[in-house]
Amino acid sequence: MKKLTKIVSAFVLSLTLLFVFQTNASAHVSVKPFQSVAGSSETYTVTVPTEKNIPTTKVAVRIPNHVEFFSYQPVPGWTTEVSKNSNGRVQTVTWTTNGTGIAPGAFQQFQFRALNPKKVGNLAWNAYQTYKDGSIVEWTGSESMETPHAITKIIQTADAAQDGSGQTLPIIAIVLSAIAIVLSVFTLVTIRTKKDKISSDAK
C-alpha cells in the first residue's frame, strides 16, 4: 500500500510540474499572433503580466525592421507614445500610466495594427517592462533565456497559420504528456496489484 501511495504521489508531482512549466512559459511578455502572413496587415496584441510584487507602470515595444506600424488602440488609463526615426518610420511604441498600473498577478493587453514584411522569417519583438520602483525587465533575449523576446513567424501562405495563435501544438503536447503519465501510473498500479495478489495467494 505504501508503494502505491508513492506511485500516486509521483504522478501528482509530475502533473504539477507539467502545468507549472506551462504557466511559467506563458508568464512572459507575449505578442500574438505567433504566426502571420508575409505582406499582410495584422492586428498584434501585446500581453503584459506583472510577475513581481509591485505594479507595472510602463511598457515599451520595439517595432522590428521591415514592419510598418499603422495605428494603436487607446487603452483607458494609459497614454501611448510613438517614437519615429529620421525617416518617419515608427521604431518604438510606449504605453505609460500614472494610475495604479498592472497589479501583481494581473495582466494588461495592448493592441496595434501593422504591415508585415514581404519576406518570410521571424520577427523578434523586444519589450521593456518598467515597474513602479523604476526597475526594468528587458524581454530581449533568445528563447532559451529567462527573459526571451516574443517571436512572430512570418509565413508565405495562410495555411500554416489557421490555428491563429500557434498554441495548438503545445497544448496537444501537454495533453499527450498527461495521458502518457496517467497510462504509466495505471500500468504500474496494475502490476503492483497483481504481484500483491500473487503473494497473497501464495501465503
Q: How many domains does the chain have?
A: 2
Phi and psi based region of residue 105 (left: phi greater than 0; alpha: psi -120 to 50; beta: remaining): left
Residue 28 lies in a domain: no
DSSP for 68-126 reads EEEEE---TT-EEEEEE-TTS-EEEEEEE-SSS-B-TT-EEEEEEEEEPPSS-EEEEE-
130: pLDDT strictly greater than 70: yes
Model confidence at 166, pLDDT cuts 50, 70, 90, reads: very low
Residues 6+ apart with CB under 8 A from 142: 148, 149
Average pLDDT over residues 99-106: 96
Is 195 found in the same domain as 119?
A: no
Of 64-68, 110-114, 141-145, least confident by mean pLDDT is: 141-145
**pTM, whole model, 2 decimals?**
0.68
Of 47-51, 69-73, 179-183, 193-197, least confident by mean pLDDT is: 193-197
Which SS3 state, helix, strand or coil, does residue 129 take?
strand
Mean pLDDT (the chain) is 81
CATH number at residue 90: 2.60.40.2230
Q: What pLDDT, on the 0 to 100 scale, is given for residue 103?
A: 97
Q: What pLDDT, on the 0 to 100 scale, is given for residue 66?
A: 94
138: pLDDT strictly greater than 70: yes
Residue 102 lies in a domain: yes
- Please give the C-alpha separations between residue 121 and each of 16, 59, 67, 125, 185, in angstroms, as whole numbers: 35, 25, 12, 13, 42
Q: What pLDDT, on the 0 to 100 scale, is given for residue 75?
A: 97
Q: What pLDDT, on the 0 to 100 scale, is given for residue 177?
A: 64
Q: What digits encode the pLDDT tens for the residues 15-44?
A: 444 444 343 345 689 999 999 999 999 999
Which SS3 state, helix, strand or coil, does residue 175 take?
helix
Is 119 found in the same domain as 80?
A: yes
Residue 56 lies in a domain: yes
Closest CA to 64 of 142, 105, 121, 137: 121
Is 145 found in the same domain as 56?
A: yes
Could you list the residue range(s) of the whole structural domain that residue 192 is in? 2-20+169-202
